[in-house]
Amino acid sequence: MTTTDQPLLSVAGVTKYYGDRMGCADVSFDLWPGEVLAVVGESGSGKTTLLNCISSRLRPTRGSVHYAMRDGQSRSLFEMGEAERRFLMRTDWGFVHQNPADGLRMTVSAGANVGERLMAVGDRHYGRIRGTAIDWLGRVEIAADRIDDQPRAFSGGMRQRLQIARNLVTAPRLVFMDEPTGGLDVSVQARLLDLVRGLVSDLDLSIIVVTHDLAVARLLSHRMMVMKDGHVIETGLTDRVLDDPREPYTQLLVSSILQV
Amino acid sequence: MNPHASGFAAYNFAYLDEQTKRMIRRAILKAIAIPGYQVPFASREMPMPYGWGTGGVQVTAAILGADDTLKVIDQGSDDTTNSVSIRKFFEKTAGVATTTRTADASIIQTRHRIPEEPLKSGQVLVYQVPIPEPLRFLEPRETETRKMHALEEYGLMHVKLYEDIAKNGRIATTYAYPVKIEGRYVMDPSPTPKFDNPKMNDSPALQLFGAGREKRIYAVPPHTEVVSLDFEDHPFEINRFEDTCALCGAEGVYLDEVILDDKGNRMFCCSDTDHCEQRREAGHSGARAGQGLEASQ
Amino acid sequence: MAAPLVLRNVRKSFTMHLRGGIEIPVVDGVDFQAEAGTCTVLGGPSGIGKSSILKMIYGNYGVDGGQILINHAGTTMDLASAEPRTVLDIRRRTLGYVSQFLRTVPRVSALDIVAEPLVRTGTPAKAARGNASALLNRLNLPQELWDLPPATFSGGEQQRVNIARGFITSHPVLLLDEPTASLDARNRKVVVAMIREKKANGVALVGIFHDADVRDAIADTVIDVSSFTARKAA
């Protein structure tokens, strides 16, 4: 994490209504370069709605999201054209879904899954694309000889690692993660978390990770936001929120963790 | 009103009513104005099943005039069921002249081949298209593929070619090989063999594509750039045949393999029957010339 | 401000919402400063709030009132009200902490855990590992363990990894929460020597030591924390 004067992402007053029903209300925060922010809360607390709003996958009812582009200019996401926004999403951003099948193309090979973003930005050299794919498979601990296998033949943990490689191949600066360890066994989770931790520090990534698992938040994030009923009820340093929770709900959440 | 009414319940000229033809012509004009772009149109029920060229037939019906000469080919052949039926259909409903000679035709409706004889200015080639969307192989959502066309997001097309090379060591797609039109829209050239792709580029003829079931029309106007997609290190190549036509001896044309018996005997001959006949009339002959297909049986 | 770390009238209590919202006061009116090159020892019986004070300084516990001023990169910052990313930056560059227990990370080797604070501030990994090896060697951690994740280590082994991780940087302020509790006499001596070196290098240390020998060997000031708990509920 480096100290800079400009936040990477600035979220102001983001509110989303589905008809009369509120998804999330009046959420504001800044995300700084190299920072990992965990959004925690139980199902229905609005954390996924928030993630979709700030990643421009969903248009909020109110509020704004500004992003510092690579040239340093701060741009309002919802004032960008769709072409530009989609370009941003497949170059400077990543999105890791809970279910790898939502983020992967299950019927094409692992190599093509990793290479797709490169081809999308105009790389037209097969050998080079394949070389980069092999390199990235290695970084997410997938053997090079699996490059031509389809993700259908992969275990859940491998699929999730493949999804991460597919997202990181264009060196994005911001990655959104929605319950990245959701469906995985505990030992597979640990491996994935460790991998993500390493990539964060090697690549100076900023991450917004939505999770209901406080252990994931503890291990990955610098800072935490606790959501309940669509509102952010507590926010702060991850270890501060977990070790000295203030709000009744946060205390309940923390005291509900199973201790091993 | 109808010059072809003959006592029976009469057909309008070329089967479709005038309003429908106008609607289709508007779609064709738009398609010509935006080369490679798939224009939706209100495809009609035709008196033939989907897959038999209902899209091509509607395009042909919309552009056909009384003084046109029509040629219909199916995989290069003028005399298969499909081409004979469609030719007869227009003979009956429009009373137009028909021909098997490429040079004599003003409109050529085709299923999956481009004639060997170079097309001329003023000719129109009408393709029958089963699946107009080149991106569907990897992205089944129509809403998404339309957006990808609109935003020129064509990386996915190369994913398909990448898969080909990864599996086969080379681009093994041999038909419906994707092309980019005038540097903008990626288009499915219908399931023509990629052998024919280079003929689409800078063609003096107008090329129209009709997909009946999918209700889409698209076009390549004359002298339009048509580039087959590829990789720098795996450039586009057309398939070359080692054999020559067994009947007319032609080289460098698209050949069909014909199985002659159940003992493994076979021969290669021109897929374009008109081209083959013309050559034989001009005195060319191949290895099996004169024997006919029956001779070996 | 001369002292690198100053606490002014710091107050802390816990509100237990799950138990009817009862308020448990921890400390009140905490007032002391840690001078460069000295070791300030927090004294008093257990349960009196010594660890809580260290955790407040480190930013791990929130602060209800007062100021915790630290000299960070040439300016004075108030840790009690600092933004999270400021606290993180202070931890990275100014403020070290040896906690009572090592929080292990799955799959990361002991050597890398120790080297991490240096790597994070830009030291090349190889040099950082070299420093880490020297420290683990000095703390008599068997070399066979260096490449293993410490989750399965004994308490004393984990504690030595933790100490090495805290001592590897040259942060001007270092907090020590019972670093010698589970160590044998030989390793306690090593830690005492390491603390003396930190003092000689001008580091301000604040620590909790239950072991009287160690405390006597390194303490410059002993602060009686029970004097900060005057308003404790009956």
How many angstroms separate the CA atoms of C213 and C198, rounded? 18
Helix (H) or strand (E) holding C160: helix C155-167
Residues A153-168 have pLDDT tens digits of 999 999 999 999 999 9
* Token pair for B26: 């508007």
From chain C, pick out residues whose CB is under 8 angstroms from the CB of A223: 84-85
Whole-number Cα distances in Å, A37 to A200, A216, C187, C202: 12, 11, 39, 35
Flag whether residue A133 sits within 8 Å of chain B, measured between CB atoms.
no
How many angstroms separate the CA atoms of C49 and C27, rounded? 6
Mutation to test the C interface, candidates A191, A199, A244, most C Cβ within 10 Å: A244
Packing angle, helices C110-120 and C125-138, rounded to 10: 130
From chain C, pick out residues whose CB is under 8 angstroms from the CB of A197: 105
How many angstroms separate the CA atoms of A220 and A226, rounded? 15
For A85-99, give the DSSP string: HHHHHHHTEEEE-SS
Residue pair B121/B115 in contact (Cβ under 8 Å)? The answer is no
For chain B, give the DSSP string: --TT--SSSPPBTTBS-HHHHHHHHHHHHHHHHSTT--EE--PPP-SS-TTSSHHHHHHHHHH--TT-EEEEEETTBSSSHHHHHHHHHHHHHH--EE-S-TTT-SEEEEES---SSPP-TT-EEEEE-S---TTTTT---HHHHHHHHHTT--HHHHHHHHHHHHHHSS----BS--EEETTTEEE---S-BGGGHHHHTT-SSEEEEEETTTTEEEEE-TT--EEE--BTTB-------SS--TTT---SS-EEEEE-STTS-EEEEES-HHHHHHHHHTT---TTTTTTTGGG-
Residue pair A166/A113 in contact (Cβ under 8 Å)? The answer is yes
Report the percentage of chain C scoring pLDDT > 70.
97
Q: Which amino acid, A174?
A: L
What pLDDT, on a 0 to 100 scale, did the predictor assign at position A199? 86
How much of chain A is in helix, strand and coil states, percent to nearest 5? Answer: 40, 25, 35
Active site residues of B: 36, 245, 248, 270, 276
Residues C45-76 have pLDDT tens digits of 888 899 999 999 999 999 999 999 999 999 99
Neighbours of C1 (CB within 10 A): 11
What pLDDT, on a 0 to 100 scale, did the predictor assign at position C12? 94
Interface contact A255-C108, CB threshold 8 A? no
Long-range contacts of C140-146 (CB under 8 A, 24+ apart): C140/C186, C140/C187, C140/C190, C141/C110, C145/C110, C146/C109, C146/C110, C146/C111
The CA distance from A67 to the nearest CA of chain B, in Å, is 21
How many angstroms separate the CA atoms of A82 and C177, rounded? 54
What pLDDT, on a 0 to 100 scale, did the predictor assign at position B11? 81
* Token pair for C33: 């400063």
Distant-in-sequence, close-in-space partners of C80: CB < 8 Å, separation ≥ 6: C10, C56, C63, C66, C67, C68
Integer-rounded Cα Rg, in Å, for chain C is 18
Sign of torsion over alpha carbons B138, B142, B144, B145: positive
Flag whether residue A111 sits within 8 Å of chain B, measured between CB atoms.
yes
How many angstroms separate the CA atoms of A167 and B230, rounded? 24
From chain A, pick out residues whose CB is under 8 angstroms from the CB of B162: 111-112, 115, 119, 126, 129-130
Strand order in the sheet with A36-40: A93-96, A174-178, A206-211, A36-40, A223-228, A231-237
Interface contact A129-B162, CB threshold 8 A? yes
What pLDDT, on a 0 to 100 scale, did the predictor assign at position B138? 84
Interface contact A255-C119, CB threshold 8 A? no
Q: Which amino acid, A93?
A: W
ipTM: 0.91
Interface contact B159-A127, CB threshold 8 A? no
Q: Which amino acid, A203?
A: L
> SS3 letters for B177-193?
CCEEECCCEEECCCCCE
What pLDDT, on a 0 to 100 scale, did the predictor assign at position B6? 54
Mutation to test the C interface, candidates A189, A201, A206, A240, most C Cβ within 10 Å: A240
Distant-in-sequence, close-in-space partners of A87: CB < 8 Å, separation ≥ 6: none
How many angstroms separate the CA atoms of A126 and B169, rounded? 11
Neighbours of B297 (CB within 10 A): 8
Average pLDDT over residues C82-99: 94
Nearest by Cα to A42 from A209, A188, A230, A184: A230
Question: Could you say which of B147, B152, B165 has the minimum Cβ distance to residue A126?
Answer: B165
Question: Could you say which of A194, A239, A251 has the minimum Cβ distance to residue C17?
Answer: A251
What pLDDT, on a 0 to 100 scale, did the predictor assign at position C151? 87
What pLDDT, on a 0 to 100 scale, did the predictor assign at position C232? 46
The CA distance from C39 to the nearest CA of chain A, in Å, is 26
- Is the pLDDT at C230 greater than 80? The verdict is no
Residue pair B268/B256 in contact (Cβ under 8 Å)? The answer is yes
Helix (H) or strand (E) holding C208: strand C204-208
How many angstroms separate the CA atoms of C231 and B219, rounded? 87
What pLDDT, on a 0 to 100 scale, did the predictor assign at position B289? 73
From chain B, pick out residues whose CB is under 8 angstroms from the CB of A119: 155-156, 158-159, 162
How many angstroms separate the CA atoms of A209 and B64, rounded? 61
Torsions phi, psi for A74 (to 5 deg): -90, 125
Q: Which amino acid, A194?
A: D
- For strand A206-211 and strand A36-40, is the pairing parallel, antiparallel, or unpaired? parallel
How many angstroms separate the CA atoms of B13 and B94, rounded? 5
- Is the pLDDT at C23 greater than 60? The verdict is yes
How much of chain C is in helix, strand and coil states, percent to nearest 5? Answer: 40, 25, 35
For B95-128, give the DSSP string: --EE-S-TTT-SEEEEES---SSPP-TT-EEEEE
What pLDDT, on a 0 to 100 scale, did the predictor assign at position B294? 45
Neighbours of B, requiring at least 3 CB pairs below 8 Å, are A
From chain A, pick out residues whose CB is under 8 angstroms from the CB of B233: 125-127
- Is the pLDDT at A258 greater than 70? The verdict is no
State the 10-residue block means of pLDDT for chain B, 297 residues long: 55 93 98 98 93 94 96 93 94 94 96 95 97 91 94 93 94 93 96 95 98 97 97 92 91 92 90 94 85 49
- Is the pLDDT at A2 greater than 50? The verdict is no
Torsions phi, psi for A168 (to 5 deg): -90, -5
How many angstroms separate the CA atoms of B60 and A217, rounded? 64
Whether there are 3 or more C-beta pairs closer than 8 Å between B and C is no
How many angstroms separate the CA atoms of A169 and B185, rounded? 26
What pLDDT, on a 0 to 100 scale, did the predictor assign at position A21? 94
